[in-house]
Amino acid sequence: MIALVIQPSSEADLEEPILEVEGLSVVRSGKLVIQDIDLTILKGEFVGIVGPNGSGKTTLLLSILGILNADSGQIKIYGSKPMSKNLDGKISWVSQAASNLPSDLRLTVRELVELGTLNRSNMFSRRRDKQQVDQAIEMVGLKDVENTDIGRLSGGQRQRAVIGRALASKAEFILLDEPLVGIDRESRSSLLKLLDDLCHDADKTILMVSHDLAAIRQTAHRMIYLEETIKFDGDTSIFPDLTELAELRGIKPVHDEVHGHHHHSHKGAGEDL
What is the rounded distance in angstroms from the CA atom of residue 149 to the CA atom of residue 120? Answer: 27
Which residue's CB is nearer to other proteins, number 101 or number 214?
101
Strand 222-227 relative to strand 229-235, pairing: antiparallel
Within 8 A by CB and 6+ apart from 220, the residues are 46, 47, 48, 208, 236
By CB under 8 A, residue 261 contacts other proteins: no
165 makes contact with other proteins (CB under 8 A): yes
User: DSSP per residue over 1-53, as a string?
Assistant: --------SGGGGG--EEEEEEEEEEEETTEEEEEEEEEEEETT-EEEEE--T
Q: Specify the length of the chain in residues.
A: 273
Contacting residue, 147, 238, 251, 261, with other proteins by CB under 8 A: 147
Among 32, 105, 202, 248, contact with other proteins (rule: CB under 8 A): 105
**Considering only 62-70, 206-214, 228-236, 249-257, which stretch makes contact with other proteins by CB under 8 A?**
62-70
| Among 27, 118, 153, 246, interactor with other proteins by CB under 8 A | 118
In the set 11, 20, 22, 111, which binds other proteins (CB under 8 A)?
Answer: 111
Strand ranges, E, within 16-163: 17-28, 31-42, 46-50, 72-77, 91-94
Q: Looking only at residues 191 through 220 of this chain, which bind other proteins when binding is defined by CB under 8 A? A: none
From 85, 252, 259, 261, residue interacting with other proteins (rule: CB under 8 A): 85
Q: Least distance from C-beta 6 to other proteins, angstroms?
A: 32
Give the binding-site size for other proteins (rule: CB under 8 A): 36
Give burial (CB, 10 Å; 0-12/13-18/19+) of 118. Answer: middle
- Determine how β-strand 173-177 pairs with β-strand 222-227: unpaired
Produce one character per residue of 139-159: b if its CB has 16 or more CB atoms within 10 Å, e if not. Answer: bbebeebbeeebeebebbbbb
88 lies in the binding site for other proteins (CB under 8 A): yes
5 binding other proteins? (CB under 8 A): no
112 near other proteins, judged by CB under 8 A = yes
The window from 48-56, 106-114, 182-190, 194-202 that contacts other proteins (CB under 8 A) reads 106-114
CB of 121 to other proteins, least distance (A): 9
Q: Which is nearer to other proteins, 174 or 230 (CB)?
A: 174
Q: Which is it for strands 72-77 and 17-28: parallel, antiparallel or unpaired?
A: antiparallel
Which residues are within 8 A (CB) of 201 and not within 5 positions of it... i.e. 6 or more apart? none
**Contacting other proteins (CB under 8 A), which of 44, 48, 56, 116?**
116
Closest contact distance (angstroms) between CB of 67 and other proteins is 6
Residue ranges binding other proteins (CB under 8 A): 62, 65, 67, 83, 85, 87-88, 91-95, 97, 101-102, 104-108, 111-112, 114-116, 118-120, 123-124, 147-149, 165-166, 169
